[in-house]
Chain A
């Protein structure tokens, strides 16, 4: 061995810190610690998540008024389901739900994608503030939203009527050129034919920002050189959007549409507040979730309400499955 070794430094004595948990609980408890830490979730989930879910299956085959106590449950088989499915009000509520789901859902995506593309490709410094503005409705309390919209749509004092009628009453001498398209008198937005469009508009307005953020995030992951390659291949901006951006957004479209389907079919807050919890005149704004709520808590028919919730679940599952077939791909 060469003599250099003599000059080598001695190995150091290292004093590594002991893990805090091990020090506190000892080795054995240390192993159990992870389970302890994760247990609050499971305890809460079992009590407030899993149990009510399973109980509602059980409930959906019984007639039960909770006021009479647990002993009053009576097995009635599929009767709750057949009743719900033949109930005209349930039909109306399902029709309303789909009406609003489509009328608010489709524009949400049709607008959010180009909007996100515009923000992505044209804005630089302003980007975050613009995204922020679009996102605000999503985090605003629905009560505040309802308040604002009911005053906007108020018959006698609302801004909407003011704007519409002033356009409608615009006149050159005796002639009113726009009266055929715009109202000349205040519109009563409470009337049933306006309920669904109004709710749809609020839902659309509320979630368009959320979808824009989702699509924007997805667009930011598309490599820039794909656009450069497409530019060199001769594609102009619209063609790039069509041939590059849209196909590359497919995975995000699948997620966003799934979220919209689930959210819109369970729509409750907005119609509940806008119609003051009644469902509106002629039930025009009553969604399936509202119908379920009213059946349970106003009519105290928990069996039927449970059956409705499971029917709704099946509908959502079915639509999500169709969406998977359309937009979800394995590669």
Chain B
């Protein structure tokens, strides 16, 4: 097991910069998720660490060793691919044992390791089948078994669950988590699925256009986004964004309404964006359990029942937004009527004209 350090890592294809100055320190045994939209450079970063892609600039360390020029096998990593990349002509047993066979490990030891991995992943009854005769989830487990037997220092996963259906994805997510808890191996996991990121990660790294937007625990990322990109990328439904004016350090104007905040905000320009998550809006003041509660009046355009919650589509001025309220809280407001929405001051976010968060000064 080992820590992994990226120092000013860069990747260029000709003129195109795909990864720009990637700095990250991953602790021994940590589970880090690289999260970001399609094409942001997640796979490229992972593949540079694996040694499958050349590094254009910067340094990667595994443990204390600089691995830039090492062959993949010398980096002592194991990787699970999105397509699983199982060897179709080999049985499950041969697939799992392949790296050991190449490494000329003793036959008896290979057998022992394969047994260990297949017991842990419940693959024992399938050992003599070819990958073709397995279900998606079973193939996924074989790919994990193949990565496990080598007892690598770092596990790499590149969107390992994106080929599975929703139910199986949930199941496998739990299995990956359990595996990590059992083995404690440093893990880097690439995905564009925020649920996977939130549930699996010790820390999430949000990437966008080759740049790190934020690094933090799932809770930090969700509750204290650094900027508008992170704020709207995480959370479903997306965080509401309303245009606002910071008329004074404690006054926020939204249309013709205004909020007097307890905390102080300062920004060079008055124009800003007011962000609040749909689930942080409530219909009754009593359901907001917080020291400072504010409210806004909004016009109800339409509402959707989703079972345990209602989605209320509202407008303030020209800005549309969504409130997600519990069915039990729901009042008999009709479309076209106004309603009042309550929220905790600590749950609102302000972003400046460069989309960076404006932090409250206690």
Interface positions of A from 244 to 282, Cβ below 8 Å from B: 244, 247-248, 250
B92 touches A (CB below 8 Å): no
Partner of B72, one of A232, A248, A331: A232
A228 to B: closest C-beta gap in Å: 5
A-B CB contact pairs (8 Å), 8 listed: A225-B81, A229-B85, A232-B50, A232-B72, A234-B72, A247-B89, A248-B89, A250-B89
Q: How far is the CA of A247 from the CA of B50 in the complex (A)?
A: 26
Tell me whether A239 and B52 are in contact (CB under 8 A): no
Q: How far is the CA of A103 from the CA of B50 in the complex (A)?
A: 45
Q: Which chain B positions have C-beta within 8 A of A239? A: 102
What 0/1 pattern do residues 209 to 251 of A give for CB contact below 8 A with B? 0000000000000010110111111110001000110011010
Q: Interface on A for B, CB 8 Å cutoff?
A: 223, 225-226, 228-235, 239, 243-244, 247-248, 250, 331
Tell me whether A229 and B81 are in contact (CB under 8 A): yes
Partner of A231, one of B52, B88, B89, B130: B52
A-B pairs with CB below 8 Å: how many? 57
Given the known A-B contacts A228-B85, A248-B88, A250-B89, are A234 and B103 also in contact in the complex, defined by CB atoms under 8 Å?
Answer: yes
Tell me whether B130 and A233 are in contact (CB under 8 A): no
B329 to A: closest C-beta gap in Å: 32
B200 touches A (CB below 8 Å): no
Q: How far is the CA of A210 from the CA of B87 in the complex (A)?
A: 28
Given the known A-B contacts A228-B52, A248-B89, A331-B130, are A233 and B83 also in contact in the complex, defined by CB atoms under 8 Å?
Answer: no
B61 touches A (CB below 8 Å): no
What 0/1 pattern do residues 278 to 295 of B give for CB contact below 8 A with A? 000000000000000000
Chain B interface main SS type: loop
A233 to B: closest C-beta gap in Å: 4
Tell me whether A225 and B83 are in contact (CB under 8 A): yes
Given the known A-B contacts A232-B77, A234-B73, A250-B89, are A223 and B83 also in contact in the complex, defined by CB atoms under 8 Å?
Answer: yes
B79 touches A (CB below 8 Å): yes
Interface pairs A-B: 3 shortest CB-CB: A233-B99, A229-B85, A234-B73
Closest residue to B94 on the A side, CB-wise? A243
Q: Which chain A positions have C-beta within 8 A of B102? A: 233-235, 239, 243
B311 touches A (CB below 8 Å): no
